[in-house]
Structure 1
Amino acid sequence: MLLPDVGLVIDEPYISQILAGDKTWEMRGSRTGKREVIGLIKKSTKHVFGTAELYACEGPLSYEQLLVATDKHGISREKVEAGLLDKWNYAWKLNNVVEFETPIPYNHPNGAVTWVKLSNHAQQANKPNNSSPKAQQIVTDKTLSKQQPVNSFQTGTMAEKTDVPVAKDGTVFSSELARNGFFTVGEKGDEQKFRSFEDALHYLRNMNKAKWRRPNDKGNWGIVSAMEWR
């Protein structure tokens, strides 16, 4: 069988609930535009445990909507009342769930916490995995090229323009964008912080559209989206 192009990292107990058919909404802190079959990755295992069709996204859901949908998102009424879903109020809706008899290993790239790109190679998912570690590796992950320091986030004065995202206003993601020692990247509401510029850049490469925080010409920090890569 063919693995999907991407996999979604899901923590326990939620991934087991999805695979068992007890949970059809994966709750997240932001909207997703993906509408496709995805791999279901159990967090911290580096294995794909199954697939599902991500067919819709709804949100942000109100407190009342979350209370009456416990059978869909798998969070108890008590936990909803305690505020567990206050910041995780977008329902990523799943159906056609398939659980693999034997989970499939993959090479997890540094910094990938939500989406992981999976190579689209044929795999015998329902056979015991007796192949060598080299043969089992089903994700092709390009090694990050060594990034040269960028002297400015303004494109006109960049020292290097190699493989970094560029926003509509001409600003780029550079090694000078650390704030309090961290680079902040990702969707609003699901932002990730990295101390390493290379790890943050790697995360941006795995996003559907790279987004990061940077200061504008007035010094105010905000999120921008990549229009191109240079």
Structure 2
Amino acid sequence: MTLTYTADQLTREAQLLATEIALLADFVIGEEAGVRALGLAADSEFAQSRHPDDLAEITGMALFGHVRRVESYVQDQEWAPDIPVDVSALQLAVDRTFSPAVLHGYEMEREAHGEMDVLGAHEVGAGDLPFGYFHRGILADLVARAAARLKVDRGERLTMADIALLLDVREPTVITNAHRKNFPTVEDENRRYAEPGDALPWMLKQGYVPTKGLPGESDTAQQTEPVGDLDDVVFVPVARDGSWFGPDCRVSGRFTIGAKGDEEKHKDYFTALEALVRMPTPRWRRPNRNGVPGIVAGVRFDRMRRADLRRALS
């Protein structure tokens, strides 16, 4: 289920992550190595205490840039050019720093100290707070959700756990829907997977919101303004090459959709679009640069304004 947190809690967990990395550098390389790696002076508050709450400089560090962009990617569905690097870097830092042994240590620390009032970052006594109270699992949750979303945006296979994360439901719920053939799946080494293009129609109906501003999106396809009425929004399939099912797919006055040998022809664009959304994998014909129609398959869906499409059709 969704992990709720405050901005202060996220910042303090990021401070904890940087602190643990600095302490490890001190231990492996030598005293002050961690402080130097963080770009801090030897007389800084953190250099004296090695306590997360004294690491006020965290918001200006590269680590926090990764955190902020990953958070925006997950919470606001906002793409940024550095997202693949951000997700990979933060996942590596979180997995290796907050290892099972370290997390067990935090748990033991909390058990030893019992219930404590977690003081604000700048309150007197905050610098004495044990490390275990800084960790809430926020970064691990954000990284897991970002990694799953990145699979969708790259057209990579999804596990049932990935889909559950993206929909904020339990994995057994997704597995049940897969068994009911609500979306196609494949099995590989006793694990069940789904291609994004196969699962997206069902995911969209469950409330999944596609990423905005992906590379290759047309200006028309990008949602840049708030939409007041969801009835004015439709989901349009997008192929791996970034092309989408639009008015220019009309050939001889008709839109052709469906797999080879099972084609359907529609005069009305929105009727064809509704049929595409219901397909396990949306497929349609579109003219190539030479004007010859060819079949492409959708790997994701983008939100578009119905009014914009009507104008393009007229």
- TM superposition score normalised by structure 2: 0.25
Q: Which one has more relative contact order, counting CA pairs under 8 Å at least 6 apart? A: 1
* Larger strand proportion of the pair: 1
Structure with the higher helix share, 1 or 2: 2
Q: TM-score, normalised by structure 1?
A: 0.33
